[in-house]
Amino acid sequence: MGDSVRVVTVGRRRLRVAVRPGTDPDRPPLLLCNGIGASLDLLDPFVDALDPAIEVVRFDPPGVGGSPVPTLPYPFPALAGLVGRLLDTLGYDRFDVLGISWGGGLAQQLALQNPRRCRQVVLVATATGWMMVPARPKVLAHMATPRRYWDAGYARSIAGRIYGGSLRDRPDLVQKLLLDYERKLSARGYLYQLATGAGWTSTPFLPLIGQPTLILAGADDPIIPLVNARMMARLMPRSRLHVYDDGHLGLLTMKDELAAVVGEFLGVTPGTSTRRTRRWRRQRRPAG
């Protein structure tokens, strides 16, 4: 079954959304929150690798991909509220969430604001905001601009230095992994995403996130040094850490292996399409 892609109106916002139906009607969907500047299309290979039992919901944040740029920036708590209303509109009253990099911050905020509604959390190549152990200044300088999404030559020239892992030896992979999937990105939309994370940190509230949490971290991630994942694992009471042997884009470079790890964590038995899970109520409402 392929994704159903459409624009959904939530209040005054229009968000581009993709839903891949799952074969297990008794499990909540997995909500994917992408990295800064990246549209929902970028995670197509990972979604394809996930067990078909899992229903998957993706969206473009305001100002990214097919979602219009908002008038003003939005903080993570407000964005988490918007995403919660999006799930209401789509008819889901419970969900699991996976956030990668910038989207990992949103996933942490969603878990905090939805302690009963959010069932399980997966955090990939992410950290705690401004209280994290930062990347080196040269890496941060490259991340301050969306140029890597627009300029293929520039993206190849910096890929190994900022993404690490497989891309150190194969910087040309950035074309396949990022640029071939990327939709339009406005400079203002990217700036707003940077503003979303400015001054935000999850460090004080991580001990309050009681959901079972899987933390996936690359052994060679220049953007998010591994020490951040170890710190988060110590702070979160029901977390476990899985370190994979690659870089910041491990969810794509190791999609099959990490999709299996995520599936096992979410309760999908390898080699099967369904597994009995705790029932959840799902009330379909018309998408606005």
Catalytic positions are 101
Contact 125, 218 (CB under 8 A): yes
Q: How many CB atoms lie within 10 A of CB 11?
A: 11
- Please, which residues have CB within 8 angstroms of residue 100's CB and are 6 or more apart in sequence? 32, 33, 34, 35, 43, 124, 125, 126, 251
Q: Is the dihedral of CA 67, 68, 69, 72 positive or negative?
A: negative
Radius of gyration of the chain (CA): 18
* One-character DSSP codes across 188-241: HHHHHHHHHHTT-B-TTTGGG--S-EEEEEETT-SSS-HHHHHHHHHHSTTEEE
CA distance 29 to 41: 18
CA distance 184 to 29: 27
